[in-house]
A and B are shown apart, each in its own frame.
Chain A
Amino acid sequence: MKLIFTLRHPNAVYYASFSPDGKTLASASLDNTIKLWNLATGEERATLRGHGDGVCTVVFSPDGKQLFSASLDKSLKTWNPADGALLTTMTGHQQYIECMAMSADGKMLASGGYDNVVRLWDTAARAATQNLSGHSDAIYTVAFSPDGKRLASGSNDGTLRLWDLLTGKQLTSLKGHLGAVQGVAFSPDGKQVAAGCSDKTVRLWDAASGELKATFTGHDKYVKCIAFSPDGRTLASGSMDESVRLWDVKSGAAREILNGHENAIYSIDFSKDGRRLATASFDRTIRVWEQ
C-alpha cells in the first residue's frame, strides 16, 4: 500500500474511521476534538467540539448519517456529520472511557473503560441497556460479532472475554496470550476472533470453540490495534513499535509492513471496499494508505 494522505491534529490521534461511502474520514484526538476529512482532497472539512477531554473513538452509523464518539470525559456523543451539530450526550461510565464499538446494524454501541464495566447502549433510544461485569481492570477494547449476538472484550486484567449479548453472560475467556489485550476484532464471517496483545503478538482464535489457531509474531512492541480487511483475508495490526503490519490470515506471513508513523499506532480501519487503510497515531497524524 502507498501513503496518500498525512492528516494532522495538534495532539495525539486516538482513532480514525471511514464513512460507509469512503468519502469522509472521521478522526478523534486527545485535543478533545473530532475532525472530518474530505478523502477526495485530504482537506479538513470540519472540527467538532464538545467533549471535555480526549476523544478515544469515533464511528459512523451504517447509513453514514450519524457519528458516534466516546471520550475520556466519560461520555458518548452523537453528532450530525453533515453539519457537525451535537445531537445527544450519553453518560453512565464512572471513569475514563477507553474504547467503543458499534454493531454492524448500527443498533448497539458497546463502551468500556476504567470502571471495568462494558456498557451497552441502544443507539435509537440513545440510552444504556445493559452492563457486562467481570473484568477486574480497565477495558481497552471491545468488538461486536458481525451478527451482533456476541461481544469480545479485552482488558488490562489480561483476559479476553466473549459475551452472549442475549443473556449478558460471559461465554468464555480466550487463552494463550500473555498480558493485557489491546485490540480485538471479529473476522467478517464471525468465525474467528483476533487480538493484539502486550506480548507483541497477534493471535487468532476459533470464535466458536475458543481454540487458539495461530500466533503472528514480528512486532517489536505491544500490538495496540487490529482490523480485518472486508474480505477477511488480511489482518492489519498497529503497534507501539510505530509500524503497521498486514498479515495473510491463512499463512500468518507478514505480507507488508507500513512504516512512517513516529509514535504508537492507536487505531486501524479499512475502507468498506478494502482498498484503503487509515491509521491513527500518537504522533498527531492520521495516515491514509491505498492499494
Chain B
Amino acid sequence: MRLYSYDGPSGRKIGEIGDYTLYSETLVREKSVIKPYVTKESNTAFNFIYGPSTGGLIESTLFNILTTGESIKGMTSDPMFKLRELKVLGKNVKDAMPIIERINGSFTASHSIAFLGAVEDAMEIELDEYILMGRIIELELERIRNHLHVIARMCEAAAFGVPYNNLFYMREKINRLIEEYSGHRFFHNVNRIGEIDIDLIGVSKSLENICNDAKNTYDSLRDSKIFVDRLLDNGVVKDLDCIGPVARGCGYPYDARVDSTTLPYTELGFSPVIEKGKGDAMDRFIIRFEEIQQSTEIIGEAEKRLKKHTTRPHHMENEGEGLGRVESPSGDLTYLIKLNEGKINEISMLTPSKVNLPVFLNSTRGNVFTDFHFNWESFGIWISEIAVGFI
C-alpha cells in the first residue's frame, strides 16, 4: 500500500471500512463507534411504517417513523430488504469489474475508479496523465448527472413540474453525452487496469449549454418563495461524521478531491465549495448546483491536459494490498483490497450512503412529514451501495 499506512488517527475521520476506521491519512484498527439512536418515549406517539415498497422512493427501504401524527419524533431505518451478495472473492480483477460496476448504477464510474485505484495501488502501477485526466472527467460528468437528478427529485417533492422536467431533460442530455463518448449511458466497461477505453476530447464544449440551462433553473428556484420555504431549516445537520455535499453544506471542507492522492485534482487548481449556513436542505441544494458549475470548469481544465494516449506495458505485481479513494457525487468512496496471485483475497468498501444514512436519520427529528422527501432527496443516499455484501 503506497498511499496509506496503518497507524493512529491522522486527518479527518471518514468512516468504517472492514475492520478499520479510515481517516484521510491513515487506517486505524478500530471499529467506528456508531452513536446509539435514542428516541424519547411518549404516550401519544406511535410508529408509522414507510416502505419498503412505496411510490415515493426510488429504491426499496423501510423507515420506521415515531410520530404523534405530524411531527417526526424519531426515525430508524432498515435498508437491508434488497440485500445483494456479490461473488467477487477469488475472482481475478478483470472478472470482478463488471460486478463492481453494478454495485450502484448511478455511481458506476466512481465505484470502478475507486476499485481500480486500490488494485493499481496493490499492483504498484503508475498511470500516465491521459488516464488520470480521463478518469477525472468521468467522475465529474457523473457528479453533474447525479446532482441534476437529486435536485430534480427535490422539485418533484414540491410538485414543481417545470423545473423537474427541465432538470431531467438536462440529465438525459448528460446521459446521451456519456453514451456518445463512452458507448454506454452508465460508463460500463470503460475503466480497466492501467487504462481507459474512452476518448473525451471535445466533451467540455458539449457541456456549455447544459451548464447555462442549469444556472437559469438554479436562479429561478432560488427566487421561488414556495420552494425555498420547503428547504430552509429542513434536516439541519449538526453531525461531524458526515461526508460529501452534506458535510460541505455544513461548512466543513471535506472532499476526497483535496485529501486523496488517487487523482491529481489539486493540480487543476481545485478547492471545495462550502456553504456556511445552517447545514439544512437549502445548503445542500446550493452546494449541488454550485458543484455543477465547478465540475464543468474542472472538465474544461482536465480536457486541456488530455494528450494523445499511448498504451504502454505496465509493471504489475500479482500480490499486495491497496486502497483507492475518490470523491463520488455523494462523498468519499473507498475500496481496500488484498490481492493474492492476481485474485481478490479480501475486499472492503466504504460508501458515502452508509456513512450519511445515520446522519440523515438524526436530522429528521423535529421535522414534519411533508419535510421528509426534501430532506431524504437532498442527502443523495443510494440504498444499492448500503445493502450489499461480498462473498
A pairs with B = no
> A residues within 8 Å of B by Cβ?
none
